[in-house]
Amino acid sequence: MNKTVLVTGGAGYIGSHACVELSEAGYDVIVVDNLSNSQMEAVRRVEQIIGKPLVFYQADVRDKPALSDIFQQHKIDAVIHFAGLKAVGESCQQPVAYYHNNNVSTLVLVETMAQFKVSHLVFSSSATVYGDPQSVPITEDFPLQATNPYGRTKLFIEDILRDLSQADVLNNAELPWKIALLRYFNPVGAHSSGLIGESPNGIPNNLMPYLSQVAIGKLEKLSVFGDDYATRDGTGVRDYIHVVDLAQGHVKALDYLLAKATDEGLCEAFNLGTGQGNSVLEMIETFQSVTGQMVNYQIVDRRPGDIAECYANTDLAEKKLGWKAQKNLHDMITDTWRWQTKNPNGYEEKL
């Protein structure tokens, strides 16, 4: 019989791609999302790709009665927790909203899971928990630090989940937690169908959606934030990872947790990146050569809070989860561009 996985935030950018990969891997998927940063159209498009309906609940994960109802109605085997707010700048302006949404939703979720004896959890963490790393590539045992409220929500949640796992040891728990903390590097790209992708509200904060909106003529010019970093061309270097590879990483993490013996508890962190770093100028050049579109850009001052270089060592995920990113920068850009050209206004365009 298929295992059933509850996907919080499943209407969002990464969650929607994960729903496709989970379904294709034979999991039954239930989505809970409050649609605060997504649209129902994303769920419809996922259904179109997988060729069957998704069980969808519009609810806030902080709403305990609503969440309990879902656990009551379905026999859930595991949870993937994507739901959360994710904009670094906004988190500095509205820290309480971020702590409330991200941290309280996780507390309500783990309380409800414990109540219904569900012990398998995959959590969306972020490379942001490494702060400004002393060196690259980054391994999972690097010191953790947060440099903004968003990052602190992720760090707190990681701590909460590690504490839960530790408590199992102290309590000699019969059904210990099995938790994977997946630290994503820079997710980009879209499903190869062009049906689902990243649909940011307003002006994008992140490089790839900004770049593609300049290329399609929705935005005038890309600002390159600084060319005086100690990197090969002076611009910031990041580990861009295709969202479909990332989604498949969740399937592998779930398989890994579900294969553990009932009485074996764990809380392990894994980097999900490609292990390759690319600079902003390299991204622009590759974007231009892959799409044939010129990208108007100018060099401006550094963006406060940015770091010079960030890329992953992914050996642990390869060794333990049997996962390695398959797609290259060319694929990431081709798929981003297909999504952008087919959906110039994101999910506002109904297919």
Residues engaged in binding ligand NAD (CB under 6 A): 8-9, 11-15, 33-38, 60-62, 82-84, 86, 101, 105, 124, 126, 184, 187
**Which partner, ligand WQD, ligand NAD, none, binds residue 224 by CB below 5 to 8 Å per kind?**
ligand WQD
Structure tokens at 209: 């959606």
* By CB under 6 A, residue 128 contacts ligand WQD: yes
Structure tokens at 42: 């994303």
Closest CA to 8 of 140, 142, 108, 158: 108
Residues 206-245 that bind ligand WQD (CB under 6 A): 206-207, 210, 222-225, 236, 238
**Which partner, ligand WQD, ligand NAD, none, binds residue 280 by CB below 5 to 8 Å per kind?**
ligand WQD
Q: Does residue 150 carry a catalytic annotation?
A: yes
291-296 long-range contacts, CB within 8 A, separation 24+: 291/215, 291/333, 291/334, 291/337, 293/215, 293/216, 293/337, 294/215, 295/211, 295/214, 295/215, 295/222, 296/214, 296/220, 296/221, 296/222
**Which partner, ligand WQD, ligand NAD, none, binds residue 124 by CB below 5 to 8 Å per kind?**
ligand NAD
Residues 48-87 that bind ligand WQD (CB under 6 A): 86
Residues 298-337 that bind ligand WQD (CB under 6 A): 303, 306
Handedness of CA 144, 145, 151, 153 (dihedral sign): positive
What do you get for the CA distance between the two ends of the chain, in Å? 34
**Which partner, ligand NAD, ligand WQD, none, binds residue 236 by CB below 5 to 8 Å per kind?**
ligand WQD
Residue closer to ligand WQD, measured from CB, 101 or 112:
101
Ramachandran angles phi, psi of 130, nearest 5°: -90, -5
Residue closer to ligand WQD, measured from CB, 53 or 89:
89
Provide CB contacts within 8 A for 44, sequence distance 6+: none
Least spacing, CB of residue 224 vs ligand WQD, in Å? 4
Closest CA to 278 of 196, 211, 178: 211
If you count DSSP H runs as helices and E runs as strands, how many of each does the chain have, helices first?
12, 14
Rounded to the nearest 5 degrees, what angle is found at the Cα of 274, between the Cα atoms of 290 and 270?
150
**Which partner, ligand WQD, ligand NAD, none, binds residue 91 by CB below 5 to 8 Å per kind?**
none
Least spacing, CB of residue 87 vs ligand NAD, in Å? 9
Among 68, 94, 145, 205, binds ligand WQD (CB under 6 A): 205
Q: Which is the catalytic residue, given 27, 57, 130, 150? A: 150
Tell me, residue by residue from 4 to 43, as one string, x for binding to ligand WQD by CB under 6 A and - for no binding.
----------------------------------------
Closest CA to 184 of 93, 71, 299, 82: 82
Query: Nearest to ligand WQD by Cβ — which residue?
Result: 236
**Considering just the CA atoms, what is the radius of gyration of the chain in Å?**
20
Residue closer to ligand NAD, measured from CB, 265 or 273:
273
Structure tokens at 147: 């440099």
Residue closer to ligand NAD, measured from CB, 36 or 326:
36
Return the percent helix, strand and coil in the chain, to nearest 5: 40, 20, 40
**Which partner, ligand NAD, ligand WQD, none, binds residue 210 by CB below 5 to 8 Å per kind?**
ligand WQD
- Tell the burial category of 26 from Cβ atoms under 10 Å away from its Cβ (0-12, 13-18, 19+): exposed
* By CB under 6 A, residue 287 contacts ligand WQD: no
Q: Which amino acid is at 70?
A: I
Least spacing, CB of residue 171 vs ligand NAD, in Å? 28
Among 37, 153, 186, 271, binds ligand WQD (CB under 6 A): 186
- Residues found near ligand WQD in the complex (CB under 6 A): 86, 88, 126, 128, 186, 205-207, 210, 222-225, 236, 238, 280, 303, 306
Catalytic residues: 150
